[in-house]
Chain A
Amino acid sequence: MQMIEIISLKKKIGSREILKGLNLSVKKGEIVTIVGPSGSGKSTLLRCINRLTEFDSGDILINGVSVREYNPLELRRIVGIVFQLPVMFDGSVEDNIAYGLRLSNVGKEVEKEKMIEMEKEIKKIAREVGIEDFLSNEATKLSIGEQQRVALARALILKPKVMLLDEPTSALDPKNEENIENLILKLVKSKGITVLWVTHDVAQARRVGDRVSVMKEGRIILTDIPEKIAWEEVYV
């Protein structure tokens, strides 16, 4: 069962063709890493999948349904994304984690039971990502590593089927990079989430990917399990 199917995807920004008929399939629960040089279109690809950016032609299917057929707001809850640099919203860590959960209650009075349920979920995910002691802290004052954990919790609490990771560890120091990488792997595997993980770090792509796709000039030129890739021939 394919969770993500990308078919002949094309995207131009201005006169520059960023994606040139890209094809890729990702099985349910699989982690596929995408490596490629800067400007090869990796981030644009992820933004097209959750429709933060509109693509020009081709299609993207999530669970067999075109992303254009989903309500975009609903799609983004099913397809979570974590960016390279976490952006914290004003308020506490708890407010940040609860942001997506509370969206469906904007302007409504929330029942007590629902509130208690939400609080439980927030505490559970905070514990899972290791920020349970910071829940009342101001999110913008956390270190970048802690902020990335908040960003991860904020996306995971919505119980996404797919996670798009846009170089989530590249802004971190080596120790934090290792910690966050292991944390992501543990969480997505335990929750059975399908992952597309963009990285410029070849070693990381080999380490975390069930399969690795190599992207060059707007196309996937190769996809295979890490052991079968002739890494010395891959320019990244």
Chain B
Amino acid sequence: MQDIMENLVKLASASSLVLVIILISHLRKIGIVKDFLSAASRGFIQLMLLSPILAYVFFSSIWFVYATPIIAVMALLAGYTSAKRAEASGLSKAILITTPSITIGALFSLSALTILKVIPIKPEFIIPLAGMAFGNAMNICSLTLTRLLGEIKNNRDKIEAMLALGASSDLTVKEFERIAAKWALIPNIDNLRTLGLIFIPGTMTGMLMAGIAPITAAVYQLSIFFMIISSGIITAVIAIHFTRARVFTPAHQLVDI
């Protein structure tokens, strides 16, 4: 009980920063107060609900029975969220592309790390890392599809001019697919490049705060980055492949998006 009280006091103290956000947004007329408060409330409720669930699952002997639906929900939510972005860019029924792409990308990298024994098969590792893998794969999927669809729309005349000369649909969008995937992965690659110089990322920070040896924390952090980028590139490639099949007909005709 004392722990809970202590944590609530810490949360209340940290929330003083909320006032700073509201004050600056109000004074500078940035207009994010409503969005921020809604997001913060959602985040608060979601994490407060998640904490006891995780506490229960972590100490259960049949944790994998609980982990499976948790991971399935992550996959569906990530697919749904990314699909909304892609649909806003003109891709209908995008969930049929985003969900499998993100799921395959995230599960592949997560499985690789467990099979290679980089991370132990324990719920306190698998579930949070699955969250990271799905979350990042979702962002990369959204960025890839938004950019790809934008490039296709902006270069419609060029693509059709190529098709008209007998080029295959694959060839006409190859350049745009490369641009989209690279653009989506660059933020993570830049983060990797500046790792330890500009910022110490979440996992490593958490482990250091928990008293883990810095070298162990660094190894985990790098492994996680490799997981994030590998899941991202797999997701991007699969999403691009499925999208190409949707924006072109089998007769190499560019459909309206």
Please list the residues of chain A having a beta carbon within 8 angstroms of any beta carbon in chain B: 50-54, 72-74, 76-77, 80-81, 83, 85, 87, 89, 99-100, 103, 106, 151, 154-155, 158
**Separation of A51 and B165 alpha carbons in the complex (Å):** 12
A51/B166 in contact, CB under 8 A: no
Contact B253 A53 (CB under 8 A): yes
- Minimum CB distance partner of B161 in chain A: A87
For residue A28, give the distance in angstroms from its CB to the closest CB of chain B.
Answer: 22
Contacts of A80 in B (CB 8 A): 164-165
Which single residue of chain A is at the shortest CB-CB distance from B256?
A13
| Chain A residues touching B, majority SS | mixed
In the complex, which residues of chain B have a beta carbon less than 8 angstroms from the beta carbon of A158?
165-166
Mask of B152-164 contacts with A, CB within 8 angstroms, 1/0? 0000011011111
A52-B164, A76-B163, A155-B165 as given contacts; A103 in contact with B171, CB under 8 Å: yes
**Can you give 19 contacting A-B residue pairs, CB < 8 Å?**
A51-B253, A52-B163, A52-B253, A54-B249, A54-B251, A54-B253, A73-B166, A73-B252, A76-B164, A76-B165, A77-B166, A80-B164, A81-B164, A87-B161, A100-B166, A103-B167, A106-B171, A151-B161, A158-B165
Residue B38 lies at the interface, judged by CB distance under 8 Å to chain A: no
Flag if B171 contacts A83 (CB, 8 Å).
no
Which of A54, A81, A87 neighbours the largest number of chain B CB atoms within 10 Å of its CB? Answer: A87
Which A-B residue pairs are the 5 nearest by beta carbons? A100-B165, A87-B161, A77-B166, A72-B251, A87-B157
State how many angstroms separate the Cβ of A199 from the closest Cβ of chain B: 19
| Bound Cα distance from A87 to B253, whole angstroms | 18
Measured CB to CB, the nearest residue on chain B to A14 is B256
Determine the chain B residues whose CB is within 8 A of the CB of A85 once the complex forms.
Answer: 157
Which residues of chain B (199-257) have a CB below 8 Å from chain A?
A: 249, 251-254
Given A54-B253, A87-B158, 9 extra CB contacts under 8 A? A73-B167, A73-B168, A73-B252, A76-B166, A81-B164, A83-B164, A87-B157, A154-B165, A158-B166
How many Å from the CB of A195 to the closest CB on chain B?
16
Q: By the criterion CB–CB under 8 Å, are A77 and B253 in contact?
A: no
Q: How far is the CA of A79 from the CA of B163 in the complex (A)?
A: 12
For A81, what are the chain B residues with a Cβ–Cβ distance below 8 Å? 164
Most B-side CB within 10 Å, residue of A51, A73, A74, A89: A73
Chain A's closest residue to B171 (CB) is A106
Q: Which A residues are CB-close (under 8 A) to B254?
A: 52
B166 nearest in chain A by CB position: A77
Chain A residues with CB under 8 A of B164? 50, 52, 76, 80-81, 83, 155
Min CB–CB distance A125 → chain B (angstroms): 14
Whether A99 pairs with B171 at a CB distance below 8 angstroms is no
Provide the bound-state CA to CA distance between A50 and B251, in Å.
11
Taking the nearest CB of chain B, how far is it from the CB of A153, in angstroms?
Answer: 11
Our pick among A52, A54, A99, A154 for the contact of B160 (Cβ within 8 Å) is A52
Q: How far is the CA of A158 from the CA of B164 in the complex (A)?
A: 11
Q: Are A89 and B158 in contact (CB-based, < 8 A)?
A: yes
Give the CA-CA distance A85 to B168 in the complex, in Å.
Answer: 22
Interface set, chain B 124-173, CB cutoff 8 A to A: 157-158, 160-168, 171
Residues of the B chain whose Cβ atoms lie less than 8 Å from the Cβ of A50 = 164
A73 contact set on B, CB distance < 8 A: 166-168, 252
